[in-house]
């Protein structure tokens, strides 16, 4: 029974990874449309590919019960989604950008930290709120990845 409970933790972490992907996919596609920046669309395909790799790694772990599949999944999910999307994209690109902009930071300093065209002046509520939300979903995703990492017992489930 413990193995099944442990495997539920793996699924929870994968679910939060998928939620973060869907959110960031929407965010970047929406941004590409409203700002006329088609280069943002690459996140949808690239993130989807990485998510598929994560799913395959979880399946391999489920079938073969080898920790190497689990650790590989955790590293890829953490680096790509937790670190790059949740913490960098969500926190730096949106939370910090908005805090500094709306706190009245000198425009030249703000632009030096957030140069165009990669960074937009916060003026679209949907774009900015989905960007900020990436940080909070990323924190939850990292929490669940950590929970899986801390599991000492393998997730073997008897057939």
Is 146's pLDDT higher than 60? yes
- Domain carrying residue 40: 2-149
Q: What percent of the chain is predicted at pLDDT more than 90?
A: 88
pLDDT value of position 156: 55
Examine residue 155 and state whether it is found in any structural domain, yes or no: no
- Pick from 58, 69, 46: nearest CA to 15: 58
Please name the residues in contact with 97: beta carbons below 8 A apart, sequence gap of 6 or more.
Answer: 113, 114, 119, 122
**Under 8 Å between Cβ of 144 and 81:** no
| 124: confidence class by pLDDT, cuts 50, 70, 90 | very high
Average model confidence (pLDDT) across the chain: 93
pLDDT value of position 126: 98
pLDDT value of position 154: 59
What's the pLDDT tens digit per position in 5-36? 678 999 999 999 999 999 999 999 999 999 99
Examine residue 158 and state whether it is found in any structural domain, yes or no: no
Q: How many distinct structural domains can be found in the chain? A: 1
What's the pLDDT tens digit per position in 67-79? 999 999 999 999 9
Does 117 sit behind a cis peptide bond, omega within 30 degrees of 0 on the bond before it?
Answer: yes
pLDDT value of position 159: 44
What pTM does this model have?
Answer: 0.91
- DSSP secondary structure string for all residues of 3-31: HHHHHHHHHHHHHHHHHHHHHHHHHHHHH
Distance CA 85, CA 45 (A): 14
Distance CA 117, CA 88 (A): 17
User: Within 13 A of 26's CA, how many CA atoms are on the CB side?
Assistant: 14
What's the pLDDT tens digit per position in 35-74? 999 999 999 999 999 999 999 999 999 999 999 999 999 9
């Amino acid at each position: 029974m413990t193995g099944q409970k442990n495997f539920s933790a793996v699924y929870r972490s994968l679910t939060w990874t998928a939620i973060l992907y869907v959110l960031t996919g929407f965010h970047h596609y929406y941004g590409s449309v409203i700002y006329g920046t088609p280069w943002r669309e690459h996140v949808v395909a690239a993130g989807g590919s990485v998510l598929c790799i994560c799913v395959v790694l979880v399946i391999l772990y489920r079938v073969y019960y080898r920790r190497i599949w689990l650790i590989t999944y955790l590293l890829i999910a953490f680096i790509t989604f937790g670190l790059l999307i949740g913490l960098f994209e969500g926190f730096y690109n949106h939370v910090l950008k908005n805090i500094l902009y709306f706190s009245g930071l000198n425009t030249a300093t703000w632009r030096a930290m957030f140069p165009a065209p990669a960074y937009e002046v916060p003026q679209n509520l949907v774009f900015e709120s989905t960007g900020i939300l990436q940080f909070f979903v990323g924190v939850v995703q990292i929490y669940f990845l950590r929970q899986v990492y801390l599991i000492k017992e393998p997730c073997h489930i008897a057939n």
